[in-house]
Structure 1
């Protein structure tokens, strides 16, 4: 497929972007600003100091990481430019098209990783002088940033194992237990969520719902499904999306899911109420959603295995641009090694940002991820997420249409709640219409 078509499609997808795919949000993600000095001196070695650049939206990660790294490595200066997530890929494309300077290090979102692979501007981290062996990373994630010809264009910032979080007091009230294993035994299929969710709503007199948002449920079900979105030149939209929409329709009709739009202030307020029980929960949502929105909820939360099994939701990798100088590449590699492969950077990410690296060897020390979490009533959340959940994850092959279809998924998840007349077929038909408008490559068939 020609790069021109790929990048044009991806620009359309990014402009319609709905959700930040789990790399961590920041208060400044909607405002592009420069934290750097003169662009004329940006990627140049100044005396004994090599200056490298980074574009990113996740200030919560890069600010403490860069600060600590530069403290330990005074011969390297990292200048960061904060770019809104929704503008990021377009900005990279524009720089390439105009021949402008690219940053030394690029943040690559997982839902556009296939598009980044098409750009041809990244160092292969499996080759000299990097020689990264992808097998050192979790199996489910080790190939995500790898091209078809075996080039590794980035290292994952973190892993995003995901489960179902729940409120213990409400679980006891409606199901008679707050034990995560006992609850998981009650929910063995998506039909169980519908049956028991209906019982919750009826028992509460219509006040309580099992889930707060169709968007959150759609995100979970979509990422938990290992169906390939694309095979050859065919986008399998109907096959991929039908189970998601079918479940949402049943949940809507049986009062299992409430009408809040995922991620809005109104939806976030439900984390502290007594009317919503279950929340699809990537690891990053524990800090960004649960603890942030229910500060008085310590001891009242639990985490359980979904009926679908563990799944991955969100994630980013960081790559080095091949347009950088040798000195810049070397400095960037020193940072990547420190951040993802060395104890100092790994500990900094954990302590400062609650990010856990994809490098398996660090999990051999049980204290790295495991330990009782008081907010979750002493449950070993890390051991569960990075042990049992991470080992059960299977992710499909990335597609250049991932973000496009995710945007359509989110539109449909809102539509199913706003129009009760829409059944699964109508929703899929609506989605196919959107696909026809957004996926315009004549070589690609959408079915």
Structure 2
């Protein structure tokens, strides 16, 4: 792995989306200095750029930003961003808790610029290993190989006493269907639409029942004026998201404690009762707007909106001029073909899986009876006695920490907890080293 002398860091972040950006902010604001660096494989911070369509809004309050729930007076808060941009008064006059996605992305870029000294972009972590020789005791750090953006083809080697993995979600496609020129995932929608353009689009199908699917249907209705838009749904239309005050308590910081302490039965119950706060549901404003459009479409007999209820896509075949989608009707239990120019799959994401990036180090991470990583309350992987380096996860902890694990709701609090854990473990390690030294000195005397 080595091509030059390794650099040692207290914290190395793998990935630099909103989660690790929030961690960088927490590290910047805490009083005890920690040497930290974040590696991001993309050339710049990017958060769902493929869905930054005009008119789309956040589904969480602006107060659930990178810092406010951890530090209400933070200079990295969304309010501080508005003040810096000279828009605070006008934002308040909007009387709206939910900024546009475009503005929130601008806020993330603004915050990332303030901690740019901690980030290396165009830097893909290719390996995480134990050091070649770490003595008789447990390994207190790991070694990482990173593609070096300064030296093309070169490898930068760093060592870390703690790593924080936040590589993001992985787009999920329907079973047996792969992305291509005419088959897109929602994560890339806006980029692909701009490349393709609306000229010549006659029919587009959108698969999915969640917020992204509904927003894409609405966008296509507005921006592909000559196209029929077919929304393929597994149910009777879209279901409304439960964003009522009582239900939203499932995203409160203390709800993480309750979920973590709960039994498997209670965790299953929480998922069952509250998954409709986030999964396969649509905000009421978008849902109502689409229904009104569908009704107006029926009145005008334009026939541009086609809601295919109780159906799913089971196959895709590519022809010379179009794409043939096989749709299975759950109601009639029969299949038929639909010819489209583009199929958009707004079918969600797989949770982050750190196994690939951890490599052989993952062999020292303990798992539960179902093969899932064991995660302590401070988001640290439980490890064997051979490894004392801290390995923290920002994502991939839904089975231990609940619904908010992959969402923005608890970014600030989670990053603060990880920072505190790293500091506390460092103090404990220093105290243990001092005690060992005193005991050794006593033996000599």
Q: Report TM bin, short chain.
A: under 0.3
TM-score (norm 1): 0.25
Which protein has the bigger helix share?
1
Higher RCO structure, 1 or 2 (CA under 8 Å, sep 6+):
1
